[in-house]
Amino acid sequence: MSPQPSRSGRVNVIQGDYHVCDNPETVLTTVLGSCVAACLRDPVSGVGGMNHFLLPGRIAGTSTGVGSESYAVHLMELLVNGLLSRGAQRHRLQAKLFGGGKMIADLPDVGVRNAAFAQNFLTKEGIEYLGGSVGGELARRVDFWPSTGRARQKFVQAEHVPAKVEPVARTVREESGDVELF
């Protein structure tokens, strides 16, 4: 079930969920650690959406955990199909990816698996990948304006990072909208 916008027009997309809309007043937002958010849109129809997924660990009876990707595939397909049902065309879809951080130093890097899965999915589906921000060791808050493709990210300081260290601000301008990293 897709979340509903608040009175401010913000929709919080939580892990395991997605939201699709074409309202220029709506901002989709989420907070990510090792999870990944795929932000997709059709620039012609103005329809866009966001999902938020984390590949689960190994499924009982498997040795590689490959079967666990079916959860992420399902959520990516829900997002794509939601866009298509609102008038988007598959050949015009564009994507930005965020998240996939390594949040716990002594554990396997599930964030890199999440980011690699998302990038591979986009390639296999022929969806144009415009960039975004994946990896690193900090959590991030992402805002996405689905009708314009604008995306903004703010790093969330972890307890192990001194408060005086701040990520360098940079902006990447793209034809389909901005990605603001600060």
Contact criterion met (CB below 8 Å) for 144 and 29: yes
Contact criterion met (CB below 8 Å) for 40 and 80: yes
What confidence tens digit (pLDDT) does each residue in 122-164 have? 999 999 999 999 999 999 999 999 999 999 999 987 554 444 4
3-state SS class at 115? helix
**Judging by DSSP bridges, how do beta strands 47-52 and 36-42 pair with one another?**
antiparallel
Residue 9: name the closest of 160, 105, 145 by CA: 145
Phi, psi of 75, deg, nearest 5: -70, -35
Beta-ladder partners of 139 = 156
Residue 34 DSSP code: S
The predicted structure's pLDDT at residue 64: 47
More confident residue, 77 or 61: 77
Match domain 10-181 to its CATH number in 3.40.50.720, 3.30.559.10, 3.30.70.360, 3.30.1330.200. 3.30.1330.200
What gap in Å lies between CA 121 and CA 35, rounded to an integer?
Answer: 15
Beta-ladder partners of 41 = 48, 94
The predicted structure's pLDDT at residue 108: 82
The predicted structure's pLDDT at residue 7: 61
The predicted structure's pLDDT at residue 5: 56
What confidence tens digit (pLDDT) does each residue in 85-121 have? 999 999 999 999 999 999 888 888 889 999 999 999 9
Contact criterion met (CB below 8 Å) for 46 and 86: no
Catalytic residue among 11, 20, 32, 35: 35
Two structure tokens written together for 157: 């300081």
The predicted structure's pLDDT at residue 94: 98
The predicted structure's pLDDT at residue 2: 56
What confidence tens digit (pLDDT) does each residue in 15-74 have? 999 999 999 999 999 999 999 999 999 999 999 999 999 886 543 444 444 455 677 899
Cα angle, residue 93 at apex, residues 95 and 101 outer, rounded to 5°: 15
Active-site residue flag, 35: yes
Cα–Cα distances in angstroms (integers) from residue 4 to residues 12, 54, 61, 115, 125, in the given order: 8, 22, 38, 27, 28
pTM above threshold 0.85: no
